[in-house]
Structure 1
Amino acid sequence: MTDNKIIDTDEWIQWIKDGIGKEYINYHYYNEFQNINCVGTGKFRKVYQVNWTSLNTIVALKFLESSNFMKEIFNELKLLHKVNFHTNIIQFFGITERKSNAGSSYSCLFLNMQDNGTLRDYLKIISQIHRNTIKLADFGLSRRTDVSSSVEEIFEMIPYIDPQYFKK
C-alpha cells in the first residue's frame, strides 16, 4: 500500500468518525443484529438480511470483504448522506463494524431491506418490465461523470434503456 493510499484511507476513516461524532452518521454495535443470512454477493461485497434487534425489524447489512475498499465505503456514505430522503433511494440507517476472528474489522452499512431480492431477480420472476418506483441501492463504485467515465471501470451494471426513450 502506498503512502498516499494510507493517508487517503486515514482521511476517509476520520471523515466517517467525524460523521458519527457529529451524529450525521448513526453507529450501532454489530451485536444488535441477529439471524444473519446472506442474500447476495457482488464483485466487492456481500449483502445479508438481518434482524435489527433494537427496532425488531429486518434490514440489509452490506459489507466489503476487504479493508482495501475504504474509498468505496466513503463514497457510498457521502452519496447516501446527500440523497437519503429521496423516495427513489433506498433508506440508509447507519453503519456498524464487524470484527473477524483474525482481529481485522470491516465497516458495514445497514439499509432498508427490499423483499424481492435484486431488481434482475424480481424482473425474471414476474417476466415484465418494472413499471413502478425503482429504488437505487448501491453507490459503492459510483463516481461523478467528470471524475471517471472509462468503460473499463464500470462493474456490475446491468445495461438498461427506458422503453419510453424509443417513443421519441
Structure 2
Amino acid sequence: MSSIYKKQETDSSADIDWLEKAIVEEHIKFYDYSHFNNIQEISIGSVGNIFRANWKDSDTVLVLKSSYKLTVQEIVNELKIQREVDFHTNILRFYGISKLRTGLIHQMNKYLLIMEYADGGTLHSYLIENFNRLDWNDKLRLAIQLANAISCIHNEDIVHGDLNSYNILVHQNNIKLTNFGLSRKITEDSHYDEIFTNKLGIIPYMDPQSLYSMYKLQEEIKPYELNSKSDIYSLGVILWQISSCRRPFYPEGIEYDIDLVKEIKKGKREEIVEETPVKYSNLYTACWVDDPDKRPNIYDIVLSLKELETE
C-alpha cells in the first residue's frame, strides 16, 4: 500500500476520533436523529442532501445537511472553520451533529450537520423570485451584509474557496453565508493542499487563475491554490448578480462548460446592468480583474459599499 493511501487512512481515523471526542466531551452538541420529526428534503447538492425538520415536538425548524461524498477530513475541516466564525450575524449558525446509521454494508455512519434554517432559500433563487420588489437600497443592503460576512472570515485568516449564489442563503431578507466545506485557514500548511486545489466549483464564480490551472490553459509549476483574492473575484460576480437578479452568462438550465472558461480567459465578463450606480459597477469590475494582485481587499470593498449607502 502506498504512503498516500496510508496517510489518508491515518487522517480519516484521526478525524473520526476528533469528532467523536468533541461530541462525548460536549464541545459539539449531539442531536439524536430519532428526535427529528416532519423531515423534508429541500435541496440536492453535489456532495449531499439538505433536509428541514422539526426538533422533537416543537415548532423549531432546523436544517440537516448530509455530506455523503465528503471525506470525514473535509467534514471536520468544515466544522472547525464554522466554529471560528459562528458568531457573525450574516453567517449561518452551526448547532451540532447528528448521526444516521444507514443500514448499508459495514453499517457505515453518516454524519449530519445541524444548521440554522433559512426561510428565503438560496440567494440565487431569492433574487429571481424577488426581482420586481428589490430596489437599489435592498440590493445594496444585501451586498454590504455579504461583504461583512466575507470580511469576518478573512479577519480570521480563512478563505471560503467556494463562494457562489447557491452557497449563500437568505433568512428573513438577510444574508446567511454557508458551506465551508472547501474553506481553510490561510496559515494552514500543505496538509490541505489536495482539498484546496483542483476542486471544480461553479465556473462563473471561480477565480480565473484556478480555471486556467484546472483546464491546463496555461503553463505552471504547480496547481494554483485558492486564496483570499479568489474570494474577491467570486464576490465581484455575486455583486453583479445582486444588481441584475440573473444567473451569470447563461440562461437557467444551460450547463457551464470549457467554452465559457476559454471566453473568460479572453477577458469575457458580464455586462453592466443599466442604471447601476457607477461606483457600484466600478467596484465589482475591480473585483473580477484577471490578475489577483490587482483586486481590492475585502476591507476596502466594505468601506466602498458603506460609502455608497450614505450617498
TM-score class normalised by the smaller sequence: 0.7 to 0.9
Q: Greater share of strand residues, 1 or 2?
A: 1
Q: Which segment drifts farther, 76-85 or 123-132?
A: 123-132
Bigger Rg, which one: 2
Residues 81, 184 of structure 2: 8 Å contact kept: no
Letter in 2 for 1:123: L
Letter in 1 for 2:199: E
Q: Matches of 1:53 and 1:88 in 2, distance apart?
A: 27
Q: 1:47 to 1:24 in 2, by over 3 A?
A: same
**Which residue of 1 is the match for residue 117 of structure 2?**
113
Q: Matches of 1:130 and 1:123 in 2, distance apart?
A: 13
Q: Which segment drifts farther, 132-141 or 70-79?
A: 132-141
Gaps of 5+ in 1: none
**Which residue of 2 is the match for residue 99 of structure 1?**
101
**Which residue of 1 is the match for residue 75 of structure 2?**
73
Residues 38, 47 of structure 1: 8 Å contact kept: yes
Backbone CA RMSD of aligned residues? 2.5
Residues 9, 71 of structure 1: 8 Å contact kept: yes
Residues 52, 58 of structure 1: 8 Å contact kept: yes
**Which residue of 1 is the match for residue 199 of structure 2?**
153
Q: 1:88 to 1:101 in 2, by over 3 A?
A: same
Give the CA deviation at 1:49.
0.8
Residues 92, 178 of structure 2: 8 Å contact kept: yes
Letter in 1 for 2:22: G
**Which residue of 1 is the match for residue 183 of structure 2?**
142
Task: Please give the residue correspondences for 1:122-141 in structure 2 after superposition, counting only pairs within 5 Å.
Answer: 122-127=126-131, 128=134, 129=139, 131-132=141-142, 133=145, 134-141=175-182
1:83-136 Cα deviation digits (max 9, x unpaired): 111112111110000111212210000101001111111111112547334211
SS in 1 for 2:178: coil
Q: Greater share of helix residues, 1 or 2?
A: 2
1:124-153 Cα deviation digits (max 9, x unpaired): 111254733421111012234576564x42
Q: 1:23 to 1:39 in 2, by over 3 A?
A: same
Q: TM-score, normalised by structure 2?
A: 0.48
Q: 1:38 to 1:14 in 2, by over 3 A?
A: same
1:84 paired residue among 83, 86, 98: 86
SS in 2 for 1:23: coil
Query: Which structure would you say has the larger RCO, counting Cα contacts within 8 Å and 6 or more residues apart?
Result: 1
Q: Matches of 2:60 and 2:12 in 1, distance apart?
A: 32
Q: Matches of 2:84 and 2:281 in 1, distance apart?
A: 28
1:58 paired residue among 61, 69, 81: 61
Gaps of 5+ in 2: 146-174, 206-233, 241-279, 284-303, 305-311
Give the CA deviation at 1:55.
4.9
Q: Matches of 1:90 and 1:126 in 2, distance apart?
A: 21
Residues 39, 117 of structure 1: 8 Å contact kept: no
Give the CA deviation at 1:54.
6.4
**Which residue of 2 is the match for residue 9 of structure 1?**
12
